[in-house]
């Protein structure tokens, strides 16, 4: 039986915890065949990103076209996009290859604070990709950069979600994981009509590298299999909770969230 397919448009993490490496193993864990359009090669370990090299924009778009025209894409997600030129190329190519669920994780920086985007590129994600997106999945730092709103409670989380919806995506997931001083992680999912609050335990760990990528790719995999956005997000949250609960130290810095539990569930 041919499995469903999901495409990740993202960067490589030499440390194997985030980026394409996280996306592919998450797709695999969902029984979905992973397709790749690589945007950048990062040089990094648990202590941080030492640098990155972009893939030329025409090579990024050629990868998308190659797999889309032959193998078919049931859903796609973006992670690290590196430059405005790549973002514009991705947007144009998506218009050419047709309709499927499209998740935009507006990755701006690594958890250690290293920029993964050139300066003008977050604006390009907002204007070029959000209007084409089924769902966007910013964390609170990215929400701040995009809207200027500092989310500290449910009210500001809702205000931020509404401001983000105005940028044109069908759904917005404002992840509450980076909110301080809470015992629960409360994420807010909305399309402007439904407001769905998703609450889960907050696990205390230093090792959260790749968490956002893993959540977005778990959601994308469920969408590739035909789930609704609310069902895909709820399932994705359960998936990432287990990955965070079992995250492990590796190197002297921030270790990765763990995909290994899927081998012995
Ligand atoms: O977690 C965001 C992210 C995405 N993609 C790549 C990364 C990181 C964080 O470090 O390195 C390639």
Model confidence pLDDT, tens digit, residues 75-128: 999 999 999 999 999 999 999 998 999 999 999 988 788 889 988 899 999 999
User: Ligand 1: which of 104, 213, 247, 254 to mutate, judged by most atoms within 8 Å of the beta carbon?
Assistant: 213
Which domains, from first to last, does the chain contain? 5-138+206-263 (3.40.1190.20)
Which tens digit of pLDDT belongs to each residue from 126-169?
A: 999 999 999 999 999 999 999 999 999 999 999 999 999 999 99
| Atom 5, ligand 1: residue with shortest CA distance | 19
- Cβ neighbors of 190 (< 8 A, separation 6 or more) are 158, 161, 162, 165, 171, 172, 196
| Residue 113 Cα to ligand 1 middle (Å) | 11
* Average pLDDT score over the chain: 95
How far lies 126's CA from each of 111, 134, 202, in Å?
21, 13, 29
Q: Give the Cα separation of 13 and 258 in Å (integer).
A: 15
Whether residue 265 has pLDDT greater than 70: no
For a ligand 1 pocket test, name from 79, 138, 208, 254 the mutation site with the most ligand atoms within 8 angstroms of its C-beta. Answer: 79
What number of helices (H) and strands (E) belong to the chain? 8, 9
C-beta separation of 13 from 251 below 8 A = no
Summarize the confidence of residues 8-28 as an average pLDDT.
98
Q: Quick one: pLDDT at residue 30? A: 98
| CA–CA gap between residue 41 and residue 11 (Å, rounded) | 6
User: Which string of b and e fits 15-48 if b means at least 16 CB within 10 Å?
Assistant: bbbbbbbbbbbbbebbebbbbbbbbbbbebbbee
Report the percent of the chain where pLDDT is more than 90. 90
Angle (nearest 5°) at CA 192 between 189 and 151: 55
Ligand 1 centroid – CA 114 distance (Å): 9
Please state the rounded mean pLDDT for residues 180-207: 92
Smallest CA separation from ligand 1 atom 10, residue:
110
pLDDT at 194 over 70: yes
The predicted model gives 15-39 an average pLDDT of 98
Atom of ligand 1 nearest to the CA of 42: 12
76: DSSP letter? E
HEC-encoded secondary structure of 11-32:
EEECCCCCHHHHHHHHHHHCCC
* CA proximity to 41, closest of 56, 23, 57, 53: 53
Protein residues whose CB sits closer than 6 Å to any atom of ligand 1: 10-11, 13, 18-19, 42, 44, 49, 79-80, 107, 110, 116, 210, 212-213
Contact 80, 116 (CB under 8 A): yes
The residues with which 115 forms a beta bridge, in sequence order, are 109
Contact residues for 83 (Cβ-Cβ < 8 A; gap 6+): 54, 57, 117, 118, 121
Q: Report yes or no: 124 and 84 within 8 Å, Cβ to Cβ.
A: yes
Q: Is the pLDDT of residue 180 over 80?
A: no
Mean pLDDT of 10-23: 98
Ligand 1: residue of 44, 116, 211, 250 to mutate (most ligand atoms within 8 A of CB) is 116
Distance between Cα 249 and ligand 1 center (Å):
17
Q: How many CA atoms lie within 13 A of 262 on its CB side?
A: 17
């Amino acid at each position: 039986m041919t499995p469903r397919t999901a495409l990740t448009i993202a960067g490589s993490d030499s440390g194997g915890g985030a980026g394409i490496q996280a996306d592919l193993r998450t797709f695999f864990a969902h029984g979905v065949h992973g397709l790749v359009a690589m945007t950048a090669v990062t040089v990094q370990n648990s202590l941080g990103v030492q640098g990155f090299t972009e893939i030329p924009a025409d090579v990024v778009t050629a990868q998308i076209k190659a797999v889309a025209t032959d193998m078919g894409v049931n859903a796609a997600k973006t992670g690290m996009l590196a430059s405005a030129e790549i973002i514009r190329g991705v947007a144009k190519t998506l218009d050419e290859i047709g309709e499927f669920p499209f998740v935009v994780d507006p990755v701006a920086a690594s958890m250690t604070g290293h920029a993964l985007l050139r300066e003008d590129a977050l604006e390009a994600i907002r204007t070029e990709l959000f209007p084409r997106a089924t769902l966007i999945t910013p964390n609170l730092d990215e929400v701040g950069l995009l809207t200027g709103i500092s989310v500290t409670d449910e009210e500001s989380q809702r205000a931020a979600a509404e401001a983000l919806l105005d940028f044109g995506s069908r759904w917005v997931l404002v992840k509450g994981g980076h909110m301080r001083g809470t015992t629960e992680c409360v994420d807010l999912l909305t399309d402007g009509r439904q407001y769905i609050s998703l609450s889960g335990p907050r696990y205390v760990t230093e090792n959260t590298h790749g968490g956002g990528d893993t959540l977005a790719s778990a959601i994308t995999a469920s969408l590739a299999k035909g789930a609704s956005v609310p069902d895909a997000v709820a399932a994705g949250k359960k998936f990432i909770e287990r990955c965070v609960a079992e995250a492990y130290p590796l190197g002297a810095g921030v270790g990765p969230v763990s995909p290994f539990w899927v081998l012995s569930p």
